[in-house]
Structure 1
C-alpha cells in the first residue's frame, strides 16, 4: 500500500472478528478508503501445520494494528532472477497467511459509527447501489496474485488505489497471501499420505471462506464476491472452477491464465525426492524430516530448486492430485465437469510466450529437443503432430516457434476453453505494445504503485496511457460491481471505452482489444489462438494418456 496522503486522523476504526480485533492501519484521502492490513485468516502454517491443510486463525487478545505481517517465502527461476532485488528476505516467513481489506470511507463513517474525519466525496449511498437496501452490503473484489506459484504477494505493486478511485465507494477490496513453492505445492506420495496436496489452493479457499464469514463486518456482501487474478492468480481461479468442490465466488476475472501442467506422478515424486535431498532429508522418514527442518533450510532449498529448472517453468505449482485437482482443468472443462454458475471475464496478451521461451533455442535440433522435454510422455507421432501444427515456415526463428507453442499451450487457449464452458463470457485481448505476459498489470493497478506506473510508462506504448488505464480499470470495476462491464464504464476521456459485448452476443465470438489507439473490436474466431491447435492441446494426447 502507498503512504496515505492524510494520516492525521484522530482515531482509526476497530473491527471485532470474534477471534481478534483489528484497527485500520491507514486512511487514504485520495480515494477515501481505509486499509485494514495483515489480518490473519488462518493459523500460522508452521510446526505441525507445515504441509497440512490450513487451520482457523488463533484467538488474539490484543488489538492488532496490522503492523505485523509477512509475505510467503519467495523463489524465482533464471529469467526472473532480477525479482530477488525486490524481495526483502526479512519480510519473508513461513507464517504468511495474511490478508488486507480496503473499505470505502463512507462505509466506516456510516456503518461503523466512526468519528469526524476530513474526507471528501462521500455522496454514495449504499441503498442506491443494490436492491434491498443497506443490509445487502457492497460487492467484494478479491485479488489473487500471480508469480508462477513461487513468488508474489497480496500487496507490493498490487495497490488498489486506482481501482478504489474508479469504484467511487461502490466496492470492498480484499487481497491475500497463500503458500508458494514447495511450502504450498510440494507433491509426491509422502505428501499425499501425510500432508495436504496443493496446500496453496486450500489456503485460497480458507481466505475465501474468511470473506464469506467476516466481510459483512466491513460493509461487504459475502454473496456478491468477484475474484480477479493474473497469471498464476488466474490459473488458481481456473483450477477452482474445475474443482469438484463448490466455488466460493460469483464472478471471476481471469487475466493471462497461466500454469505449467503437472500431471505425471513419477515427475512429482522426483521433485519431492530432489527437494528432500536438498534439505538433508533423503531418508526413509523423509516427510517427518522435512516437518522438523528449520524453515530457513526449506526456504533455501526452495529457492535452489526453483532456480534449477527448465527455462520458463517454476518447478513447483498446481498438480493433478486426484482430489481437489482430479484432472488438468482444461480437461475438466472439456468434459463438462466444472462449476457452472459463475460469470466470467477472460483475457490474454498478444505475446504471452516471449518471456517463458528460452532465447538460446536457435537450431531445429534445439527446438526438437525442447519439445521432447516439455512432453516426455507423448508418443513420437504426437510429438510430430505438435511440431506440424507450428511449422518452421510460419516463423521467423525457432525461438518464435517455441514462443508460439508456449503461448497457446500454457496461456492463450485457456480463453476459448473458458468461452466454450461459459457462453456469454466477456473476452478481451491486451495488445498494447509490447503485449508480453504481465505488462497489463500496469493498467490493472494504475494509480497505485509508483514502481508499476513507472514500468508501464517505460515499456508500454499508447497514445494516452493514463486515460487508457483508467478506462480499462472502469471495465474491471464495473464487472465486479454489477456483472456488466458496461454499467459503470468511463466514456468521457481521450481513450473512452466502447460497448463490451458478451461472446455470444454477436457473430464470431466478439472480443474487445486493448491497444495503442484505445479500444476496438475483434473476434475470437478470426483473431484468437488457432482453433485447431487449441483442440490439440485440450485433447490431451501430449500427456500420454
Structure 2
C-alpha cells in the first residue's frame, strides 16, 4: 500500500498503516509537533504553536517522549525536553467520495504528572479504532518542567504549563482534525489517573471553551489530593540550597541546568511527599496571570457552575488503592492519609483525632498485616480517588445542564495487567487495569475470538464510543452487546454502572464508605469555614 499523505496547516504529512483488533486497516500519523520545542527561553513557559515546515514531514514514527523514569522498564530514564508531539489514528481519510466527519477521542495519559507518554507502548488504538471514531494521543510536559509555579509575575511562570500544552493540542485538533476525517465539532476528551484529573481540570478551565464537547475522567479528578501542586519553590529551594522565597534566583539557576540535572533535583523530593499533602507537581490556582488555566479553587468553580457544562463521565476501579501497595503495607502514621482538602494542620490535635477515626473505620482494633491489607487498599482507594470522584459527580450534576454518568469497574480477566505487575492476589481491580480494555499495549495477551476478554473489550469500547457519538453511553436499550440502560446521576439518586462480569445498573456506590468520608469532612476545619 502506498504510504498515506495529507496536508494540514503546518505542511504535508506522510503516515503509515496498521491493522485493528478485527484485522481491518487504519491510518497512523505519529510524532506530529503541535508546539515549538519548549527549549531555551520557552522552558517553563506557556507553549507556542508549532511552525510550518517545507517538504514532507515523516509521520511514520512516534516523537520523543517527555523526560521521565519509565515505570514499566525497570526505571529506565527516557525522552527529552523537545517532546510536544501528538499521534492521530483514523480508519479512513476524506476523499471526494467520503467527506463524512467522525467523532474524535482525545486521550491524555496518566503517570502522576511526572511520567508516561501518549505513545503506543501503553496506548495503542487497535481496540477503539474498530468503531467509527478518530483517536488522538498526546505528550505534555512532565514534572518540574511542566508544572513549575512562581508567584513573581515578572518571571511569567504562573504554573500549569503541562495543562496549557493540552489546551494547545486541543486547539491544534480544532484546526486540523477534519483533514484526518475527524469532526472538530464533536471532540471527546478522556484520560486516566493524572490524565483523568487533567480532563476534569480542562472541564473547569476558562481557557478551553469550545475546544471539546464531552469529557471522560477515569480514576482521577481535580478533587483528588494528589492532583494539587504548589509553588515549586517549597521543594526546589531546599534542593538547590536557595531560600524558597527567592524565586528569581531559583528560576535563573534552573535555567542554567540541563534536563538531566533538573530531573536529578526533582527526584530528591518527588519520592518523599506526604500522601495527603499537595505535591511538587500538579495544578495550581494561578495568581497574577492575565490568561490563567485555572483562576479559582476547583470546588468553587464546580458549585458556581462556572465550568464547561458538557456531558461528563467519571468513574473508578474497585481496587484503585492497590497502586499504593507498598505504602498500604508500611503506613506508620495515619495522619499521612488525612486529605489536605479537609483543612487540617498536621500537628494539630484534631488531625490526630481524624487519623484515629480513619484507622478505626478500616482496621477496627487491628493493625496493618497481610490479613488486613485489603482493607488498606480500600482506604487508599477512598482517600486518593473515590471520595473526590463521588463528590465531583454529585456536585456537578447539581448545577450542570448536561448529564453526569458515574461508573465502577469490577471486571477481572487476563486484561487486568497492573494487578499482575504488582503481584497482588486479593480480589479487586487495580488502578490502571481499565486501560487494558480500551487500548492495546505492551502487556496485552493474545485476544481470542469469542473469549470473555473480547466481550469485555467490546463493552468498554461501545460504552466509550457511544458516549463520544451521542453524549449517552447507552442510547439504545436494545443493544445486544450492552443489554442495559446507564442512567445519569441526579440530585435525588446516585445512579452508576458497575462494569463487571456483566453490566449492572446500580445505586449509591460503596455507600457506607462514602457516608464515613462525608461525616469526616463535615467535622473538618474546611467544612466549618465553608458553612
Shorter-chain TM-score range: 0.7 to 0.9
CA distance in 1, matches of 2:129, 2:477: 14
1:468 corresponding residue in structure 2: 456
1:63 corresponding residue in structure 2: 56
SS state of the match for residue 422, structure 1? Answer: helix
TM-score, normalised with respect to structure 2: 0.80
For 1:332, which of 301, 309, 316 is the aligned residue?
301
Matched, 1:197 2:191: no
Measure how far apart 1:19 and its partner are: 2.1
Cα 1:510/1:20, change in 2 over 3 Å? same
Kindly indicate whether the alpha-carbon contact (under 8 Å) linking 1:246 and 1:339 is maintained by their aligned counterparts in 2: no
Cα 1:473/1:419, change in 2 over 3 Å? farther
Matched, 1:512 2:475: no
Kindly indicate whether the alpha-carbon contact (under 8 Å) linking 1:345 and 1:427 is maintained by their aligned counterparts in 2: yes
SS state of the match for residue 225, structure 2? Answer: coil
Matched, 1:440 2:472: no
SS state of the match for residue 142, structure 1? Answer: strand
* Count of residue correspondences: 484
Once the two structures are overlaid, the 10-residue window that deviates more, 239-248 or 306-315, is 306-315
Cα 1:171/1:311, change in 2 over 3 Å? same
SS state of the match for residue 54, structure 2? Answer: coil
CA distance in 1, matches of 2:305, 2:328: 38
1:498 corresponding residue in structure 2: 484
Measure how far apart 1:284 and its partner are: 6.2
CA distance in 2, matches of 1:190, 1:86: 35
SS state of the match for residue 188, structure 2? Answer: strand
Cα 1:369/1:312, change in 2 over 3 Å? closer
Measure how far apart 1:88 and its partner are: 5.7
SS state of the match for residue 137, structure 2? Answer: strand
Once the two structures are overlaid, the 10-residue window that deviates more, 520-529 or 430-439, is 520-529
Report matched runs for 1:10-409 at 5 Å: 11-28=2-19, 30-66=23-59, 67=61, 69-75=63-69, 82-85=71-74, 87=76, 89=78, 92-105=79-92, 107-108=93-94, 110-111=95-96, 134=100, 137-155=101-119, 156-165=121-130, 167=131, 170-189=132-151, 193-247=155-209, 248-258=211-221, 259-261=224-226, 268-277=232-241, 285-310=249-274, 315-322=280-287, 323-333=292-302, 335-356=303-324, 358-361=327-330, 366-368=333-335, 371=338, 377=345, 380=348, 382-384=350-352, 386-387=354-355, 390=358, 392-395=360-363, 399=368, 403-409=377-383
TM-score, normalised with respect to structure 1: 0.78
* Structure 2 portions without partners, runs of 5+: 412-426
When the two chains are superposed, the root-mean-square deviation of aligned CA atoms in Å is 3.5
1:418 corresponding residue in structure 2: 393
CA distance in 2, matches of 1:536, 1:239: 25
Kindly indicate whether the alpha-carbon contact (under 8 Å) linking 1:157 and 1:452 is maintained by their aligned counterparts in 2: no
CA distance in 1, matches of 2:345, 2:494: 34
SS state of the match for residue 16, structure 1? Answer: strand
2:423 corresponding residue in structure 1: none
Q: For 1:183-229, what per-residue CA distance to the aligned partner results, in whole angstroms no more than 9, with x for missing partners?
A: 10123435883324110010000000111111111111111110111
Measure how far apart 1:58 and its partner are: 1.8
Cα 1:254/1:207, change in 2 over 3 Å? same
* Structure 1 portions without partners, runs of 5+: 1-8, 77-81, 114-124, 127-133, 458-462
Q: For 1:7-65, what per-residue CA distance to the aligned partner results, in whole angstroms no more than 9, with x for missing partners?
A: xx1x2222222323211133436233101101110000011110011001022113111
